[in-house]
Amino acid sequence: MSLPEKVKINLPPKLMSRAPWPSSGKEVGQKFGPAKKSCESSHFFFAYAHAGLFRVLEIMHQQGSRIVYLPAFICDVVALAIRQAGLVPRYYAVDSCFRILWPSLRKVASGEIFLSVNYFGLQIDTAEVRNFCRKKKLFWIHDNSHGFACRRGAIDLGNFGDISLTSFRKVLPARNGAVVQINHPHLRALLSHDLMADRDLRAEPGRWKFATKQILRPILPWILRLPDFTQPCKPTAPSVMAYRADPRARRIFLRADRHRIRTQRRHNYRALQTLWLGGKYPFAKPAVSALPPGSSPLVFPLRIPDLQAWRAFLQTARRKRLDAHTWPTLPSKVLRQSTHGAKRLWASTVFLPVHQDLTSQELVGRVSKVADLVMTELGLRSLQKKGKRPARTGK
């Protein structure tokens, strides 16, 4: 499916967050001054989602916001953007299925910002978030960075939140590219001008490096060793990567065949789900039991509670050139203090590729080869052959 050059989204009113904060046109007027009539495009392109977030937060900060509530299980660059924009990150908890744990949000100050994350395109309960934000008068940023091409029913996941962020560079072959989508009609008129100012940013260097990588992509796993994902990654960037979005990235975004991407990823996800639910590999299970309708996740999250098995899986995958990895690069404070158990969640989850240019058959073949080797390494294979129940492997 290709989209028209100018994407304009007109949501039916009941699908809007209906301004959790500001909760009515009047309050928008009070906070930002009267809303302008003009309604420019709702999509603003940035090189990176965290750079778009930074820009939005800078504007929000000027309007008096001070705090951003965000999950502790989050990428360091998100916390970086918040701090660099002059706001304070306050972390809340998510459970092992990446759902918000509401008791960790008992104390929130109204008028501040709430950031929800659509982990890997798996969807969150947007109605619950919307009601929470409305009740607490919070501005809702829906971080849909992983959710390009994902839908809830017929609705694109970028349409949720007062604004949403989608880092489409994670899915499409674009050097960079993320989009800030303003879903709130008043904010659209108010923020458009400031967000467009980022067109003056400089272009990101490294064009040829990216082009070479694209050409070599099919053989990259065989010539470059994957990182050791059992070690926490180093912080991604010292400061926000505020570059102009590559003009080609915009075109790729607008022309991408979302339907094909969705179908292929769902197909691969389902194939992996069948493999892990088959009971052949008792050391791991899918982190999320059912695939919500419309979801086409970016990766397949696998729960491996035992630390030894988790390490064995990642190291074997690395040897066998399977792009299985951990996520995220946690903010250093969260990593140090394991805020809300985020480090434990990190060290018990592996993300399997759903893409890697493989068909579902090839993907399942590669993954089962790794899983078989792990079974042997953990001594579970022989137990299984003798028909014994596997004991827990040591920590």
Ligand X SMILES: Cc1ncc(COP(=O)(O)O)c(C=O)c1O
Closer Cβ to ligand X, 79 or 309, answer by number: 79
State in angstroms the smallest separation of the CB of 176 from ligand X.
8
Who contacts 362 (Cβ-Cβ below 8 Å, separation ≥6)? none
- The sheet with strand 88-92 has its strands ordered as 43-46, 178-182, 163-166, 139-143, 113-117, 67-71, 88-92
Cα–Cα dist 2/122, whole Å: 23
Quick check: 167 binds ligand X (CB under 6 A)? Answer: yes
Closer Cβ to ligand X, 185 or 328, answer by number: 328
Using the rule CB under 6 A, which residue among 78, 85, 298, 342 binds ligand X? 78
**From residue 36 to residue 75, what is the string marking binding to ligand X with x (rule CB under 6 A)?**
------------xxx------------------------x
Cα–Cα dist 158/123, whole Å: 11
Closer Cβ to ligand X, 78 or 352, answer by number: 78
User: Which stretch, 20-28, 139-147, 206-214, 254-262, contacts ligand X (CB under 6 A)?
Assistant: 139-147
State in angstroms the smallest separation of the CB of 161 from ligand X.
13
User: Which stretch, 1-9, 125-133, 140-148, 270-278, contacts ligand X (CB under 6 A)?
Assistant: 140-148
Question: Token pair of 160, please?
Answer: 């949720």
Q: Are 360 and 267 in contact (CB under 8 A)?
A: yes
Quick check: 145 binds ligand X (CB under 6 A)? Answer: yes
Quick check: 330 binds ligand X (CB under 6 A)? Answer: no
For 218, other C-beta atoms within 10 Å of its C-beta total 9
Quick check: 142 binds ligand X (CB under 6 A)? Answer: no
- Taking alpha carbons only, the member of 13, 11, 31, 12 closest to residue 21 is 31
What DSSP state is assigned to residue 124? Answer: -
Q: What angle, 0 to 180 degrees and rounded to 10, lies between the N-to-C axes of helices 25-32 and 185-196?
A: 30
- For residues 170-229, which are near ligand X according to CB under 6 A? 178
Report the interface residues with ligand X, using CB under 6 A.
48-50, 75, 77-78, 117, 143, 145-146, 167, 169, 178, 328
